[in-house]
Amino acid sequence: MIHYRSNAKRFVISILFLTVFCFGTNVWAQDGKALFQQNCASCHAVNKNLTGPALAGIEERVPDKKLLYAWIRNNQAVLQTGNKYFNDLYNQYNKAAMNLFPNLTDGEIAAIITYVNKAASEAAAPPKEEGGAKAEAQGSDNSLLYGILTLVLAVIVLILLQVNSNLKRLTDEKEGIPSYEPVPFWRNKAYIALFAVVLFIIGGYFTIQGAIGLGRSKDYQPEQPIYYSHKVHAGTNQINCLYCHGGAQEGKHANIPSLNTCMNCHMAINEYAGEKLYREDGTEVNGTEEIKKLYKYTGWDPQAKKYTGEAKPIEWVKIHNLPDHVYFNHAQHVKAGKVACQTCHGPIQEMGEVYQFSDLSMGWCVNCHRESKVQFTDNKFYSIYEKFHNDLKSGKMDSVTVEKIGGTECQKCHY
């Protein structure tokens, strides 16, 4: 029985090793993308200049790795050293300040840059098919492949173990040591038990992942009653977000504007003559027809130029929705925290129909609170934190994160 036990031990170790290897590498590969989306995507794209420059080819432009990492962590410090390249860039971008990321580790920065390089080379390759972004999202999820690989390797391990014990029996027989018929592994209780345990762990992992994700709806992009394009309004025509979502400045909710707000402009603008518009599925949108729908809802007669009184309410499909047990306040973030809409909602000004950009998970809130600096200057919310002010002034502290003012305490976000 002794060599069975040691075989079983080896088996457990190899399975554990394989599992760690599979999930480990998978997490690695995705990390860079997630970190980029979370920290950088509000200002940077890989191949397009947004608020900040396109990041493709960054290692060629800044070959000094130390300098590059220093910039990403604390660009203000690099600017102060008088570095010519970065000071020129800063002026070129109208002195737009990039955020500081003092908490990013070397490994995390390396993962972001690896992701940028990978995305840049994928975009440089000839386009594979329509809907590139979604295809890419699927392509990067290799867990199925790894799963199959694990299974195949596990079977090979089992077969080798069997061969090993057979050989041992043969040599034992040759040397005249009495031995017994080995039980094949599919009837060996130890193996069966192990197999059950491994299945249980893997099953449990996926069940828990699934349960945590319940009710989350990242990328949710419902079709709306009117094809209202944020790209046309907030992008091309530069209408300020607060013109329609003024609530975000004053209170908890950002609010969806009433159709009267739309009519401020659309009494006059009754046709669409801009760039062609397409839905996600590739069908073309007739902007003028969509404006006519707006007239139907508001009961506006564009010929007579008056309201007929036959208005009906519009039901926009709600996209972002936190569970009822969570308290989230827009003004706290937009007005006091000076967090840009795009940091949480993504590049809304480039979206046809809005989709949910962030997963709105608790981890998402808490991670940002760990990293974000509180803006103490002209922020009346925090006059009670005199001590922080003084520590900041005397240089004892160089910044105060949201966590330090209690932003990760349960009752701050939970009713």
Distance CA 102, CA 93 (A): 22
C-alpha triplet 74, 33, 404: angle, nearest 5°: 45
Which of 15, 22, 32, 75 forms a contact with ligand HEC (CB under 6 A)? 75
Residue 29 or 226 with smaller CB distance to ligand HEC: 226
Lay out the site mask for ligand HEC across 254-273 (x = CB under 6 A, - = otherwise): xxxx---xx-xxx--x--xx
Under 8 Å between Cβ of 41 and 33: no
Judge whether 33 and 39 are in contact, CB under 8 Å. Answer: no
* DSSP letter string, 364-399: HHHHHHHHPBP--TT-GGGTT-HHHHHHHHHTS-S-
Pick from 296, 320, 289: which is nearest to 215 by CA? 320
- Applying CB under 6 A, does 7 fall inside the site for ligand HEC? no
In terms of Cα–Cα distance, which of 287, 147, 166 is closest to 228?
Answer: 287
- Inter-residue contact 388 to 404 (CB < 8 Å): yes
Q: 14 or 408, CB closer to ligand HEC?
A: 408
CB of 51: closest distance to ligand HEC in angstroms? Answer: 5
Chain Cα centroid distance, residue 281: 23
> Which of 14, 70, 78, 99 lies closest to 368, judged by CA?
99
Give the interface segment with ligand HEC, choosing from 21-29, 38-46, 123-131, 134-142 (CB under 6 A).
38-46
Cα(175)–Cα(137) distance, integer angstroms: 60
| 106, 69 Cβ separation under 8 angstroms | yes
24 versus 323: smaller Cβ distance to ligand HEC: 323
Neighbours of 115 (CB within 10 A): 23
Q: Is 69 in the site for ligand HEC (CB under 6 A)?
A: no
349 near ligand HEC (CB under 6 A): yes
321 three-state secondary structure: coil
Question: Which residues in the 140-169 window bind ligand HEC by CB under 6 A?
Answer: none
Contact 300, 310 (CB under 8 A): no
Q: Are strands 277-278 and 284-285 parallel, antiparallel or unpaired?
A: antiparallel
- Name the minimum Å distance from CB 127 to ligand HEC: 24
Stretch that binds ligand HEC, among 93-101, 132-140, 190-198, 385-393 (CB under 6 A): 93-101
Q: Which of 72, 78, 100, 111 binds ligand HEC (CB under 6 A)?
A: 72
Q: Which of residues 114-143 bind ligand HEC (CB under 6 A)?
A: none
Element containing residue 277 per DSSP (H, E): strand 277-278
Nearer Cβ to ligand HEC, position 188 or 372? 372
* 100 binding ligand HEC? (CB under 6 A): no
Question: Is the Cβ of residue 22 or residue 344 nearer to ligand HEC in the bound state?
Answer: 344
Which of the stretches 130-138, 195-203, 338-346, 387-395 binds ligand HEC when contact is defined by CB under 6 A?
A: 338-346
Asked if 17 touches ligand HEC (CB under 6 A), the answer is no
* Contact status: 111 vs ligand HEC (CB under 6 A): no
216 binds ligand HEC (CB under 6 A): yes
- Token pair, residue 258, equals 């009433």
Distances (CA, A) of 255 to 224, 245, 330, 343: 16, 6, 10, 18
Residue from 7, 33, 188, 337 in contact with ligand HEC (CB under 6 A): 337
Amino acid letter for position 292: K
Q: Which stretch binds ligand HEC (CB under 6 A): 49-57, 147-155, 179-187, 386-394?
A: 49-57
Instruction: Give dist(CA 162, CA 168) in Å, integer.
Output: 10
The verdict on 372 binding ligand HEC (CB under 6 A) reads yes
Stretch in the footprint of ligand HEC (CB under 6 A) among 25-33, 88-96, 163-171, 173-181: 88-96
Stretch that binds ligand HEC, among 150-158, 173-181, 196-204, 333-341 (CB under 6 A): 333-341
7 or 39, CB closer to ligand HEC? 39
Binders of ligand HEC among residues 270 to 289 (CB under 6 A) are: 272-274, 277, 285, 287
- Please identify which residue in 5, 48, 61, 296 interacts with ligand HEC, judged by CB under 6 A: 61
User: What are the φ/ψ torsions at residue 352 (nearest 5 degrees)?
Assistant: -70, -85
The alpha-helical segments, DSSP class H, found in 175-234 are: 189-213, 230
Check binding of 298 to ligand HEC (CB under 6 A): no
Chain residues 217-246 in contact with ligand HEC, contact rule CB under 6 A? 224, 226-230, 232-234, 237, 239, 241-245
Using the contact rule CB under 6 A, the part of the chain among 15-23, 125-133, 177-185, 332-340 near ligand HEC is: 332-340
